[in-house]
Structure 1
Amino acid sequence: MTEETVGAVEVLEVDIDAAAGLTGELIAAIGEVCDRAEDGRGAVVVLRIEGAAGHVLAPDTGVLTKWEGVLRRLERLPALSVAAMRGPCGGVALDAAMAADYRVAHPEVGLVLSTGSGEVWPGMALYRMSRLSQRAPVRRAALLGMPVGADDALAAGLVDELSQEPAVGVARLVEHLAGGWGADLAIRRDLLRSTAEFEGALGGHLAACDRLLRRAASA
């Protein structure tokens, strides 16, 4: 993990190399980033992702369980997470990218669900992709293992921006935001993604609104 400060924003960065597969070191690195983001305010987590296709995710389901646990932490952080994506994005790269709030991808990126054996990996990246989009490229990827190209990924909402230099796009986004996403980012995420009953979502919404009104009144 590396860190820097852009304006008032603490930027926490972690490198993800899909060619290396899923390792304890990678799980620990993202866990450390989550620790730091949960402790502070106004942070942005940047995932610098170098993709690889056809790589089996993990040696066993125990490691996968730990991996999904740390990705779930990432999704619930009180900090924005941004992915800078290069290469044929499969395996751990695709998992991490789909868990981020915002994705900047190289125009030649491809989202790949298949493994080295040619089968479609039934991982949680598929779940996250389906939550983002139900368009035809997602169905073809899930059912037939067909890669999702950059243009299709952008049109389907699987990536938010294409850039020849994804890291530059991420840096520009961080500088533009300057911490303006607010303290209740996690609540707003839950409202977007929630499958809970209306009453359950309403409770979190009202609590977040009350906190915002209190902050506004004291400003």
Structure 2
Amino acid sequence: MKSLIFDIYGDFGHFKKYYTTSSPLTFSFPPPPTIKGMLGAIGGISKTEYLKTFRSDKCKIAVRILRPVKKIRMGLNLINTKDNFWIPFKKKNHEARTQVKMELLKDPMYRIYFSHEDDELFNDIVEKVRNHHNVYTLSLGLSEMIADYRFVDVKDAFETGDVETEISSVLPYKYILDNKIVFEDGKKYFKEKIPFDMDEDRVVLDYSDVVYEANGKSIRSYVSKSWVIDDEYVMFF
């Protein structure tokens, strides 16, 4: 299948973990629903439509960490905009602002792999990425964290069977056979549960356990299937 490959990066990023509230923590990479939002911004697909357009039975997405994951804590002032007032002044029984400690990603950079069964839509996204012509502003999770991106290539991805190989992308745990990961010196392995699929009402339909290497290095594993692009093995969600 044809796959669009492009890189996305920025100064800061935040992909909120679903189980944090007052002190938001961030995933180390954008989960699939977030990447679909990025594709929607590039293609000009509205917030109410992109989850339908990029349904999991229609498209495939893989993500690779290109820069070591760096996380910092920063205090952000949230302005009270209730009751139709915007100027940050105190009002009876209301605080003008609330300071929240947030975990942010510093200098994040990812490689996105994208395929879609709709050739017309796929080609439109390819041309927009190639020409750096996104319709809506692209961000890394939050609207304040503006992102940039660059076209890499369009290549064929071929599905493989059972194989032990070096996986370059984030690795969904469900594809690992017999829990077989070859742990190597000098690599930092992490496992997280991420939202995998959402419906059009933004209700999470499914979660996925994933394994990734925090410095962007490959993971050697025995997997039930993978996709090879040139000499690189990636895992699509």
TM-score scaled by structure 2?
0.24
TM-score normalized with structure 1 length: 0.25
| Greater share of helix | 1
Q: Which has the larger radius of gyration?
A: 2
